[in-house]
């Protein structure tokens, strides 16, 4: 047998063995039992933000992972419903007004990595139609819908 063929066979066997070892490591728990991906508990919350003395509003929406739905029709500046299953994804909602300009920030905290298992992150934002608004949306992985 040719030496190149022997080396090729050894490389292929090594790669397959390494792949199997990595899969076993990632799919088993420390005690050797099969790892079960965590199930995250769904949490929900709502926010309602009054316009205050703002004549116009600058809105920033930053969502790293999830589904975002934005609609008009709110009586207040913002009426929102959030549901998320990863506690560290709890959205942060901040609103300030300076010299008639409102600053609305809605953001998902930055986290490293993506959780394993089943998870959900849904934001439903209803904004006031009667307020001039400059909007900046930064969406990572997910879907967005605006009406």
Range of the domain at 138: 43-146
The answer on 86 and 112 residing in a single domain is: yes
Angle, alpha carbons 46-38-34 (nearest 5°)? 175
Rg (CA), the chain: 24
Are residues 72 and 125 located together in one domain of the fold? yes
Counting the structural domains of the chain, the total is 2
Sequential pLDDT tens for the chain (147 residues): 678 777 777 777 778 777 766 655 555 545 555 545 555 789 999 999 999 999 999 999 999 889 999 999 999 999 999 999 888 889 999 999 999 999 999 999 887 666 666 788 999 999 999 999 999 999 988 899 988
**75 close to 55: Cβ distance less than 8 angstroms:** no
Regarding whether 53 and 27 lie in a shared domain, the answer is no
Do 47 and 109 have their domain in common? yes
This prediction has a pTM of 0.71
- Co-location of 24 and 52 in the same domain: no
Question: 97 and 68, same structural domain?
Answer: yes
Tokens (6 digits) for 12: 């292929």
Three-class SS state of 4: helix
Asked if residues 39 and 86 have their Cβ atoms less than 8 Å apart, the reply is no
Query: Quick one: 124 and 139 in the same domain?
Result: yes
**Strand 101-107 and strand 92-98: pairing?**
antiparallel
Q: What pairing do the DSSP bridges indicate for beta strands 121-127 and 78-84?
A: antiparallel
Nearest to 124 by CA among 106, 140, 110: 106
Quick one: 81 and 124 in the same domain?
yes
């Amino acid at each position: 047998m040719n030496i190149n063929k022997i080396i090729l066979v050894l490389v292929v066997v090594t790669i397959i063995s390494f792949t199997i070892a990595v899969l076993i490591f990632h799919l088993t728990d420390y005690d050797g039992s099969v790892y079960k991906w965590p199930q995250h508990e769904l949490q929900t919350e709502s926010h309602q933000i009054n316009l205050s003395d703002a004549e116009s509003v600058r809105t920033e929406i930053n969502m790293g992972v999830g589904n975002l739905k934005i609609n008009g029709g709110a009586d207040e500046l913002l009426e929102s419903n959030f549901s998320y299953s990863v506690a560290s994804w709890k959205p942060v909602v901040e609103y300030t007004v300076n010299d008639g300009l409102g600053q609305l920030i809605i953001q998902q905290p930055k986290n490293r990595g993506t959780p394993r298992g089943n998870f959900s992150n849904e934001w439903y934002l209803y904004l006031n139609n009667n307020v001039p608004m400059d909007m900046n949306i930064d969406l990572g992985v997910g879907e967005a819908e605006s009406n």
